Amino acid sequence: METERKTKTMIGRVVSDKMDKTVVVAVETRRQHPIYKKSYRVVKKYKVHDETGTAHYGDTVEMLATRPLSRTKHWRLGRVLTKGEVAESAELKEISK
């Protein structure tokens, strides 16, 4: 019987696409304070390998765990879930100038 491995996935928003073949993705999680029980958000940034350069600033993406690709890069781009409106509006502003 063959066992299928389940790779770890996370969903986040691209906050930087200035590097070559790399995007920075911010993943937001919610935690609860152990004593006061108030929930708060924690944002962590991950460097994600984007071979084809399909993800841009503002996009919501799915990222998959992979072997270490560099000192800080341990994730690869799975797919782009939604295109960011922020990126499109910034391009329109540049064109209209």
Q: Measured between alpha carbons, how far is 74 from 68 in angstroms, rounded to an integer?
A: 5
CATH number of the domain encompassing residue 55: 2.40.50.140
Residue 1 has pLDDT above 80, yes or no: no
Q: Measured between alpha carbons, how far is 26 from 6 in angstroms, rounded to an integer?
A: 22
Specify the pairing of strand 73-82 against strand 39-49. Answer: parallel
Q: What is the pLDDT of residue 55?
A: 95
Share of the chain above pLDDT 70, in %: 84
pLDDT-based confidence at 37, cuts 50/70/90?
Answer: very high
Q: How many domains does the chain have?
A: 1
CA torsion sign, 39 to 43 to 49 to 52? positive
Q: Which domain holds residue 14?
A: 9-96
Give the tens place of pLDDT for each residue, 42-87: 999 999 999 999 999 999 999 999 999 999 999 999 999 999 876 5
Single pTM value for the model: 0.79
Q: Measured between alpha carbons, how far is 80 from 48 in angstroms, rounded to an integer?
A: 12
Q: Measured between alpha carbons, how far is 90 from 69 in angstroms, rounded to an integer?
A: 31
Residue 2 maps to a domain? no
